[in-house]
Amino acid sequence: MVRTLTILVVLLGFAVGTASAQAVDARAALQAALKAMGGTDLKTIQISAAGWSSRIGQTYGLEEDWPHFEVANYTRVIDYDTKSSREDYTRRQGTYSPQGRPPMPEEHVTAILSGGYAWDIQGTTPVPFTRLYLDGVPWADLRELELALTPHGALKAGLAAPSATAISLPIVGMSDFGLSQYGRKVTIVSFPLLGKYKMNVTIDDRNLVELVDTWIPNPIYGDMDYEMRYTQYKDFSGVKFPQQLHVHHGDPRLNPAHNYYEYKVSEVKANVPVPAIPVPDTVRNARLAPVRVESQKLADGVWSLGGGTHNSMLVEFKDFLTVVDAPNNEARSLAVIAEAEKLVPGKQIRYLVNTHHHMDHSGGLRTYLSQGTTIVTHESNKDYYMKIPFYPAPWTLEPDRMAMFNPMYMISRRPAPIETIAGTAGQNATYVVTDGVRVLQVFHVQDMAYELGDPSYRQANHSQDMLMAFLPKEKILFNADLYSPPAQGAPQTAPTASMRTLYQNMLKNKLDVAQHVPAHGRVGTNDEFVTTVSKSNRTN
């Protein structure tokens, strides 16, 4: 097969020296690096490491990094010829702040890729994936990309690609990361993966892979960067491998959250025996769960819209509709919009209340904005939303409605339809949606860590921009991630700091609640909620 070579200049945001970039032979560059790194005859590899990883998309505020948790006893075995991989590790909260979430419980994780299929193992049971990773990319694609993102895997993937391009250029100013710096030359090789994704591999003047990055579809970031940085190379019995793996996952334009994980490698073994990993029938036959919306009438003109992992609430007004929360992605939003039209034909959705910025609760916002719905959110989110998810940049991997029919808010005189709620500690910030008869109150949830009297409850609010929506006449309260009633027949859960924060906000705002509509799980009664919270003496 003839592999084509074209010229592509990739700057990757670095400053280029006075010498111009020069096209080079991509295949020769990949082969030279593979030889220098001891990978020419490398068939399998085993890596041992430890460090930390992150909960992507779950920051307490927009100034923090992704919340970290500890990773111990990490082992990964890769068979490059069969494109299979097995990762085993222990994850736990460790000394890292959970940033308003329950601490990560200690548990063993086994992650598998084999034969183009991906699954996890719990105990001895294979667990197939029925959802997309971060509501954007199939898990099998993700793990095949992650195999190709490894240092030797990147070189092998480039050599196997139907086409590749390469340039050589000087790079200046990477001293903060320990990568090539001070005018040293690097070679950047670019090639396609899986017929859909693209990859850049940066090889330094020692023929070592320093940087590998690709992009995956994501409902917040669009083409979301996935970057591996490899430093502190060591010779492990003839195979050169980095001792530090530092990974970025996000978008550098505004949101500082981007550090995915960092592992310190302690041991590398080459060409270890790797047993074949058969694909279980439960995995082979698994399919993505269909997007399904199930409506539950709560009062006249009020419905809970469930049927998936996340719920929304639909409220009918005289001349319009309001939806609370736009979770997951566009597929979910389109299904909710269709259900709203079925329940209340002919009325437009004028307002969408966004409870908070976490990816799983804001991934469907673009769909509503693209049709002119006004987004109601906390003031701290507006700049972030305008410059990241609402920015009219091309979404090449998974174009959505806004990418195809972008309302030109950014360049027209009419501003984007976004209404904000102010709110800091001690303020009862409120936004009201009304038609003169029905009233929907939207409150900024105050973090009650100090009122709860225990410093361990720092960031008990789950997210500093958290909003809750209340219908005073119907006595219905919608909350996201602060309280979810247990499944029918299940025992009551222990009270959490987030539950206590919700309760304190109810008291502070004098809310007379009868029904709780959570973003996750079933609708519950306030009597049930109060009984749960009252297990603690920190409720007043």
> What single string gives the DSSP state of each residue in 155-176?
HHHHHHSSEEEEEEEEEE--GG
pLDDT at 9 > cutoff 50: no
Local confidence band at 448 (pLDDT 50, 70, 90 cut-offs)? low
Q: Are residues 267 and 342 in the same domain?
A: no
End residue of a domain, out of 284, 305, 329 = 284
* 168 and 278 assigned to the same domain: yes
For every residue of 424-489, DSSP letters joined together read -TT---EEEEESSS-EEEEEEPPP-TTTTT-GGGTTTTSSTT-EEEEETTTTEEEESSS--PPPTT
Q: Predicted confidence band at 536 (pLDDT cuts at 50, 70, 90)? A: low
pLDDT tens for 182-239 read 567 899 999 999 999 999 999 999 999 999 999 999 999 999 999 999 999 999 999 9
Q: How far is CA 320 from CA 323, 347, 367, 375, 431, in A?
A: 10, 5, 17, 14, 17
More confident residue, 519 or 539: 519
Token pair, residue 450, equals 């100090």
Which of 153-162, 209-218, 233-242, 255-264 shows the lowest per-residue confidence on average (mean pLDDT)?
255-264
Based on the fold, state whether residues 252 and 305 are members of the same structural domain. Answer: no
Task: Kindly calculate the radius of gyration of the chain based on its CA atoms and give it in whole angstroms.
Answer: 25
Residues 152 and 240 in one domain: yes
What CATH number does the domain containing 181 carry? 2.50.20
Claim to verify: residue 256 and residue 347 sit in the same structural domain: no
| One domain for residues 244 and 309 | no
Summarize pLDDT for 97-124 with one digit per residue, the tens.
888 888 999 999 999 999 999 999 999 9
Residue 80: give the domain boundaries: 21-284
pLDDT at 101: 82
Quick: pLDDT tens for 455-494.
444 556 788 899 999 999 999 999 999 999 999 889 888 8
Confidence of residue 8 (pLDDT cuts 50, 70, 90): very low
Q: What is the pLDDT of residue 316?
A: 98
For 424, the token pair is 């800091």
Is 7 a member of any domain?
no
Of 471 and 454, the structure prediction assigns the larger pLDDT to 471
Specify the pLDDT at position 176.
47
- What is the mean pLDDT of the segment spanning 240-249? 96
Provide the pLDDT for residue 412: 61
224 and 329 assigned to the same domain = no
Query: How far is it between the farthest Cα atoms of the chain?
Result: 76
pLDDT by residue (tens digit) across 382-416? 999 999 999 888 899 999 999 987 666 555 656 77
Same domain, 427 and 504: yes
pLDDT at 382: 94
